[in-house]
Amino acid sequence: MVKLPPARSEGHVSIESVLSLRRSIRSYSKRPLSLNDLSQLLWAAQGINSRDIRRTAPSAGALYPLELYLVAGLTTDLSPGVYRYSSEQHSLHLIKEFDQRLALSRVALNQECIAAAPACFVIAGVYRRTAMKYGKRARRYVQLEAGHASENILLQAVALKLGTVVVGAFDDQGVQRVLDLPTEHEPLLLIPVGFPGGRVGE
């Protein structure tokens, strides 16, 4: 287990500034991401922000069907590999050793941004957690929740002067295979993150 540095609940950039600066960025420099930056991004996506164990992103019925994974490559104080994020412990648990960014890129239509980014966040959904209460509407609610969590990552990245983009084009089973995900953890979004270094997207 890798215990993450505490996340900050206050910053120096207004939400209005973050919103005005948000862009999709697909080209990154070779500068590594720090464990502090990773900690802040993970907390923004699925961190605990209250004593009753509620999270930073809303969840239908507070059922929390999302699983958040980190594919680390070029990072300081963290070995390359695939990690699962624990919200309750604010920690990372190693799932698979070695740098998997290139393999992940290959099952995502060879998108270069995934291989080039120092790290990539993977949001997966476990539909049965929500279906137990909401039945057929679970798919909609889980996908909405993935959108909430991904936007938190995007906005936090801007506040940290990082670049990122949301990727939805990939082979679902290929992502599960590369990352050794359980069958019920269905990948929904890939989010490469790094310091901007090149072409800026939309």
pLDDT at 201 (0 to 100): 41
CB of 134 within 8 A of CB of 113? no
pLDDT at 175 (0 to 100): 98
CB of 75 within 8 A of CB of 32? yes
pLDDT at 199 (0 to 100): 47
Instruction: Enter the tokens of residue 122.
Output: 């993977």
SS3 138: helix
Give me the sign of the Cα torsion angle 86, 106, 158, 142: negative
Mean pLDDT of 175-196: 98
Instruction: Enter the tokens of residue 12.
Output: 């120096």
pLDDT at 72 (0 to 100): 98
Q: Would you say residue 202 has pLDDT above 80?
A: no
Mean pLDDT of 133-137: 97
pLDDT tens digits for 101-133? 999 999 999 999 999 999 999 999 999 999 999
pLDDT tens digits for 68-109? 999 999 999 999 999 999 999 999 999 999 999 999 999 999
Number of H helices, E strands in the chain: 7, 7
CB of 165 within 8 A of CB of 140? no
Instruction: Enter the tokens of residue 170.
Output: 């990939």
Residue 172: CB atoms within 10 A of its CB come to: 13
Return the CATH number of the domain spanning residue range 2-194.
3.40.109.10
Q: Within a 13 Å sphere around the CA of 174, how many CA atoms are in the beta-carbon half? A: 15
